[in-house]
Amino acid sequence: MPPDPAPPPATVPTLGSVNSPTTGPAVLIIEDDEGIGGGLLRALGGQGYRPLWCQTVAQARIQALLDIDVVLLDLGLPDGDGLNLCRQLRRQRAELPIIILTARSAETDIVVGLDAGAIDYLVKPFRLAELLARLRAHTRRHPDVPAEPDVLTVGDLTVDVAARRLHRAGVEVQPRAKEFDLLTVLMRHAGKVVTRAMAMSQVWDENWYGSTKTLDVHIAALRQRLGESGPDNSRITTLRGVGYRLELPPEDGQDR
Ligand code: CA
């Protein structure tokens, strides 16, 4: 007896896509708001990414994740909770970066999202430039991601990434290798939160899922290296359960 024919693809998602390069990182946008989803689709297509857009949990589950490089995930979806979807995607592909897009700005919501396996989050409304910076950070191993600047300056700190040199107020400081890498990540996102998962994956190991105690130890060492006496008067702000933020000096604040 022949096997039953495959059911008709009645539930195939109507994935949006635009004419975009076929080689850039593939971004799966899971967002039910048409204005945001459609806007992201166009914007990312114009920035060298391959965006795909679906609007429901059901569509996102159907979308094969094999070729996706990064996920943008709205939490409030019409047919389910984005947090559950986040956990499921994390189980299916442990290394897949998931960035939560949320209007829920309460810190507890963000912590729950990060605990569900997201590497990063953006609170709506967010600026496109900020989203692009996050996408670059999370797809930087992709061969078609444009290079990031090699020399970073925030206040009196200057990092030459290629030469691996750090200057503070013109005086060279010699941090340990991981301290340098951590500071580089913080400086690339100066004024914005670097989540614990983001720091761990970018400084230690892409698939790092253990205790993040070592991160706190390195932050403490870095503060000392920068001549700071402790967390209370540090240019690196602690966001408990979320991550760290390198503060911009007031005169650099125009890009916030
Ligand atoms: Ca929504």
User: Degrees (nearest 5) of the Cα angle 107, 205, 25?
Assistant: 80
CATH C-level class of 151-255: mainly alpha
Q: How far is 157 from 248, CA to CA, in rounded Å?
A: 11
Ligand 1 centroid from CA 173, angstroms? 46
pLDDT, tens digit (0-9, with 9 covering 90-100), for 83-97: 999 999 988 888 899
Ligand 1 centroid from CA 158, angstroms? 40
Ligand 1 centroid from CA 184, angstroms? 33
pLDDT of res. 216: 92
Ligand 1 centroid from CA 103, angstroms? 8
CB distance 65 to 185 below 8 Å: no
Ligand 1 centroid from CA 76, angstroms? 4
Q: Is the pLDDT of residue 126 over 90?
A: no
Ligand 1 centroid from CA 196, angstroms? 25
Ligand 1 centroid from CA 60, angstroms? 14
Fold agreement (26-138, 151-255): no
Q: Is the pLDDT of residue 120 over 70?
A: yes
SS3 120: strand
pLDDT, tens digit (0-9, with 9 covering 90-100), for 181-198: 999 999 998 998 998 888
Ligand 1 centroid from CA 211, angstroms? 32
pLDDT of res. 14: 41
Q: How far is 93 from 101, CA to CA, in rounded Å?
A: 19
For the chain, give the mean pLDDT: 83
Q: What dotted CATH number matches 26-138?
A: 3.40.50.2300
- Phi, psi (degrees; rounded to nearest 5) at 188: -65, -25
Q: Is the pLDDT of residue 8 over 80?
A: no
Q: How far is 76 from 73, CA to CA, in rounded Å?
A: 9
pLDDT, tens digit (0-9, with 9 covering 90-100), for 145-187: 656 678 999 999 999 988 899 999 999 999 999 999 999 999 9
Q: Is the pLDDT of residue 142 over 80?
A: no
Instruction: Write down the residue that tokens 């989540």 correspond to.
Output: 195
Ligand 1 centroid from CA 133, angstroms? 22
pTM of the model: 0.65
Give residues whose Cβ lies within 5 Å of ion ligand 1. Answer: 32, 74, 76
Ligand 1 centroid from CA 96, angstroms? 21
pLDDT of res. 65: 75
Ligand 1 centroid from CA 224, angstroms? 43
Ligand 1 centroid from CA 53, angstroms? 13
Ligand 1 centroid from CA 204, angstroms? 33
Domain boundaries, the chain: 26-138, 151-255
